[in-house]
Chains A and B, each alone.
Chain A
Amino acid sequence: MSLKRIFKLYKAMEMEDIILSFNGIVTADFLDSVLHLMETKMQTLDESSKRKKKVFNVLVECIQNLYHHIEDDLILKVKTKKETRNALIIVVKNEEGFLIQTGNYIERELALELEERLIKINSLDRVQLRDYYQNILINGSVSDKGTAGLGMIDIARKSGNKLEYEFLDIDENHCFFSLNVKID
């Protein structure tokens, strides 16, 4: 990247009200660091503890989703020749509230499953979402990785808004998944 591009990138991030961004491989250590960083950052913000907790909670769930679902064996190189285990995490704070945005490569098969779940989640209102959560909590099983299939439902419940997402086709086996969670 040329030196001029650094300033451009800085201005672009400033324009978008980005208060935290990370692009790299999501490891357990990274998770610890980013949570610590975010906690410190949140302390300096003039926000209600209720909202801070919500943002932190959704961020934890988003990052742990990435951590669990970006498989170790998915180090396949896609068209971009970049590491597919990489993920992008962005936290935006603007006048309307907070946005937590993530982006990552995902295998097409998993993308289809995920999209189905997201369609279902977005079709439910607050009360239905709560019933759905309880249902999965009671009947779902925990995987070896400790995931319970509740992540996205919990994110939707805490956010209180519809989840915005997009799947971009990368190649025949991969998509790029973008997620936008609003907390107002």
Chain B
Amino acid sequence: MSVMENILREGSAKTPAVNFDSASGVLELKGRSIPENSVEFYKPLNDWIDNYGVNPKDKTIVDIKLEYFNTSSSKCILDLFKKLESLKTKGAEVLVNWYFEEDDEDMEEAGEDYQAIIKLPFKMIEVEEI
């Protein structure tokens, strides 16, 4: 089995930090996501999940630690979740941890929006600071 390359990217003023690790099965997005055109940013991430899905870990943990995201990102994030959802057909378990900051109802609701659409277990986790 060939080893997949991981994605490790630092966050910027408009894009989140990315840490997708195929060996541990932990995928993390952290920071803010407000690029003008999110497709460019998210396409490599979604492609990575396609490759990862060929031979996924038994358990995949998705940590979403976003401060906020724009509507251009929201569609891309949905696509990302859809790809993760499809891992289930391979018998893999996928768990989403949705982090949001204390009192941040907007981000809590955003997580619930995805939870309502995507058939994956979501755990809503309130933290003091992301």
Contacts and interface: CB of A to CB of B under 8 A. Distances in A.
Interface in A33-58: 35-36, 48-50, 53-54, 56-57
Contact of A49 (B35, B70, B101, B109): B101
A31 B36 contact: yes
A151 to B, nearest CB: 5
Q: How large is the interface on B (under 10, 10 to 19, 20 to 34, 35 or more residues)?
A: 20 to 34
Interface in B6-58: 13-14, 34-40
B122 interface: no
Nearest to A48: B103
A64 B36 contact: yes
A57 B68 contact: yes
Given A31-B36, A50-B103, A150 B113 contact: no
A184 B110 CA distance: 20
B13 A35 contact: yes
Tell me which of B37, B38, B67, B78 has the highest count of chain A C-beta atoms within 10 A of its own C-beta.
B37
Interface of B: 13-14, 34-40, 67-68, 70-72, 74-76, 78, 101, 103-106, 109, 113, 116-117
| 3 tightest Cβ-Cβ pairs between the two chains A and B | A146-B37, A150-B71, A148-B75
9 contacts: A35-B34, A53-B106, A54-B106, A64-B36, A64-B72, A68-B36, A145-B37, A146-B39, A153-B71
Given A64-B34, A142-B39, A154-B70, 10 more contacts: A35-B34, A61-B71, A130-B113, A134-B113, A134-B117, A137-B113, A140-B75, A147-B72, A148-B72, A150-B75
